[in-house]
Structure 1
Amino acid sequence: MPVPNHTPAKKPELHENMSIWRNRPFLVLFFTSTFIACGAKVYELALPLILYDMTQSPVAMTTMKSIEFLPNLLLAMFIGVWVDRFSKKRWSQWMVFGQMVLLFLLYGLTESGHAQVIHYYVAGFFLMAFNYGFHNARVSMIKQVVPTPLLTLANARFSFMGTFIEIMGPAITGFILLLSTLHTGLLITGTAYLLAFIAISFVDRTDAPAPSQGGFWQELRNGWKELLGNRPLWQITVLVIFLNATSGMYDAMIIFFAKDHLRLDNSTLGLVLSVAGLGGLLGSSVVAYLRRRFPIGRIMGMTILLLGCSYLLMVFAQSTWMLCPSLFLTGLISTIENVCIWTFRQETTPAHMIGRISGITGSIFKLGIVFSIYGSGWMTLSFGPWVVFLAAAVGNLVVFLVYRRLALWKLA
Structure 2
Amino acid sequence: MAGLWRHGDFLKLWGGETISQFGAQITVLALPLTAILTLQATAGELGVLTAMQFAPVLLITLFAGVWLDGNRKRPALTIANLGRAALLGLVPVLYVADLLSMPVLYAIAFLTGLLTAVFDVAYVVYLPSLVSKDQLVQANSRLEATYSIASIGGPGVGGLLVQWLTAPVSIVANAVTYLAAAVSVAAIRHREPPPDRPADRASTWTEIKEGLSTTLRDPLLRPLTVGSAWFNLFEQVILTLYLLYGVRELHLSTSLLGAVLAVGSVGALAGSFVADRAGQVLGVGRTMVWTMILGCAALGLVPAASGSPLVAGSVLAAGLFVYGLALAVFNVHSLSLRGAIVPPELLGRVTATYRFFVFGTIPLGGLLGGLLGEQLGVRTAMVIAVAALLAGAVVFAVTRIRSVGDEIFGPKETLCSLD
Q: TM-score, normalised to structure 2's length?
A: 0.90
User: Which residue does the alignment assign to 1:301?
Assistant: 289
Match of 1:375 in 2: 368
In the alignment, structure 1 residue 128 sits paired with structure 2 residue 113:
yes
Pair 1:274 & 2:262 matched? yes
Structure 1: stretches of 5+ with no match in the other structure: 1-16
Structure-1 separation of matches of 2:169 and 2:80:
22
Q: Does the CA-based 8 Å contact 2:68-2:348 persist in structure 1? A: yes
> In structure 1, what residue type is equivalent to 2:10?
F
Q: Which residue number corresponds to residue 24 of structure 1?
A: 8
Q: 1:65 aligns with which of 33, 36, 50?
A: 50
Moved more, 117-126 or 222-231: 222-231
CA distance in 2, matches of 1:369, 1:101: 24
Alignment check: 8 A CA contact 1:311 1:392 kept? no
Conservation of the 8 A alpha-carbon contact between 1:311 and 1:389: no
1:117 shift after superposition: 0.8
Which of 139, 161, 178 is the equivalent residue of 1:176? 161
Could you tell me which amino acid in structure 2 is paired with residue 20 of structure 1? L
Are residues 1:391 and 2:384 paired? yes
From 60, 72, 90, the equivalent of 1:87 is 72
What is the CA-CA distance between 1:217 and the residue it aligns to?
2.6
State the Cα distance separating 1:229 from its structure 2 match. Answer: 4.4
| Cα drift, residue 21 of structure 1 | 1.3
CA distance in 2, matches of 1:409, 1:395: 20
Deviates more, 1:213-222 or 1:185-194: 213-222
Question: What are the within-5 Å matches in structure 2 for residues 224-303 of structure 1?
Answer: 224-303=212-291
Q: Could you tell me how far apart the structure 2 residues matched to 1:343 and 1:111 are?
A: 44
Q: Is the contact between residue 159 and residue 254 of structure 2 (CA under 8 Å) also seen in structure 1?
A: yes
Q: Quote the offset at 1:129 in angstroms.
A: 1.6
1:321 to 288, 295, 314: 314
Deviation readout 1:41-97 (Å, 9 max, x if unpaired): 112211100100112422222221122111112211111112222221211111111
* Aligned position for 1:349: 342
Of 101, 112, 137 in structure 1, the residue corresponding to residue 86 of structure 2 is 101
Counterparts of 1:35 and 1:323, CA distance in 2: 27
1:179–1:311 Cα change, 3 Å: closer
The one-letter amino acid of 1:22's match is R
Match of 2:404 in 1: 411
Report the Cα offset of residue 234 of structure 1.
1.7
Could you tell me the TM-score, scaled by structure 1's length? 0.91
Instruction: Give the residue type in structure 2 aligned to 1:153.
Output: Q
Q: Give the whole-Å Cα distance in 2 for the aligned partners of 1:379 and 1:218.
A: 39
Verify: 1:157 aligned to 2:145, yes or no: no
CA–CA separation in structure 2 for the residues paired with 1:75 and 1:346: 21
Shift in CA distance, 342/264, structure 1 to aligned 2, threshold 3 Å: same
User: What amino acid sits opposite 2:203 in the alignment?
Assistant: G
SS at match of 2:357: helix
Work out whether 1:193 is the aligned partner of 2:181. Answer: no
User: How far did residue 320 of structure 1 move?
Assistant: 1.9
Partner of 1:146: 131
Distance 2:194 2:353 in 1: 18
User: Residues of 1 paired with 2:85 and 2:172: CA distance?
Assistant: 9
Residues 317-341 of structure 1, C-alpha deviations (whole Å, 9 max, x = no match): 2122222211111111111112221
Q: What residue number does 1:42 align with? A: 26
Aligned-residue RMSD, C-alpha: 1.7
2:24 counterpart letter in structure 1: A
Paired residues, what number? Answer: 396
The answer to whether the Cα contact below 8 Å between 2:296 and 2:393 also exists between their aligned partners in 1 is: no
SS at match of 2:171: helix
Native 8 Å contact 2:232 2:365 kept in 1 = no
Give the whole-Å Cα distance in 2 for the aligned partners of 1:301 and 1:94: 37
Whether contact under 8 Å (1:84, 1:356) holds in the other structure is yes
4+ residue runs over 6 A deviation? none
The equivalent residue for 1:8 is none
Quick one: distance in 2 between partners of 1:228 and 1:61?
Answer: 32
The CA deviation at 1:25 is: 2.1
Q: Is the 8 A contact 2:296 2:323 kept in 1?
A: no
CA distance in 1, matches of 2:102, 2:269: 34
Which of 99, 106, 115 is 1:114 aligned to?
Answer: 99
Partner of 1:153, secondary structure, is: helix
Structure 2 residue runs of 5 or longer lacking an equivalent are: 307-311, 406-419
Out of 192, 204, 213, which is 2:189 matched to?
A: 204
Aligned counterparts of 1:20 and 1:332: Cα–Cα separation in 2: 23
Q: Which moved more, 1:219-228 or 1:93-102?
A: 219-228
CA distance in 2 between partners of 1:121 and 1:312 (Å): 30
**Contact 1:52–1:60 (Cα < 8 Å) also in 2:** no
CA deviation profile, 1:349-380 (whole Å, cap 9, x unmatched): 11222111111110011343322221222222
